[in-house]
Amino acid sequence: MYYFRPIATPVGELKLVASDSGLAGILWENDDPKRTRFLPQVQDDDHPVLRETERQLNEYFAGARRVFDLPLDFVGTDFQKKVWQALVAIPFGETRSYSQIAREIGHPLAVRAVGAANGRNPLSIVAPCHRVIGSNGKLTGFAGGLDIKAFLLSLERPQPSLALSEETPRAGQAV
């Protein structure tokens, strides 16, 4: 049995899905129903994993969270689970190519299979498939759309420091 809770976010409505074991899915508003299969589902706005996921996502979008601390219930093949675990290991603000992920999981020739597993990642944002880019540095497919992928990457980009330098005029100082 799966439980769901819709939430509003800066990237549109997301549907959070949990099992009794943990968070199983974060689905996009216009998600392809064939990409993930979580049936049957019952709406449960008070499910503890779904409430905690919403809280942590709100912190992430507010710039106050870099790492998620949630029980995850990956549903897929052993290979897919390996890829998804590699996604979770990509640090905030960094990216990896599909070939880097393939090497990291010990299957250096399985670049296309890594891409396919990445495309079926049920836990967008928490298992950050948006951090996987083409080897040429270009943005590639993303279930939420390339505009949202670009938004998420920009959200994680280091922000320029606002610290005052020796040359920065201070209040009351002549310029």
Residue 175 pLDDT: 46
Could you tell me which residues are beta bridge partners of residue 14? 7, 28
Residue 87 and residue 96: Cα distance in Å, rounded?
9
pLDDT < 50: residue spans in the chain: 168-173, 175
Rounded Cα distance between 50 and 7, Å, is 10
Options 27, 126, 129, 132, the catalytic residue: 129
Residue 105, pLDDT score: 97
The dihedral over CA atoms of 18, 75, 119, 2, expressed in degrees to the nearest 10, equals -30
The pTM score is 0.86
What local confidence, expressed as pLDDT, does residue 141 receive? 87
* pLDDT at site 163: 54
pLDDT of residue 172: 47
Q: What pLDDT does 168 receive?
A: 46
Q: Give residue 41's pLDDT.
A: 84
**Residue 55 annotated among the catalytic residues of the structure:** no
Nearest to 25 by CA among 148, 124, 97, 109: 124
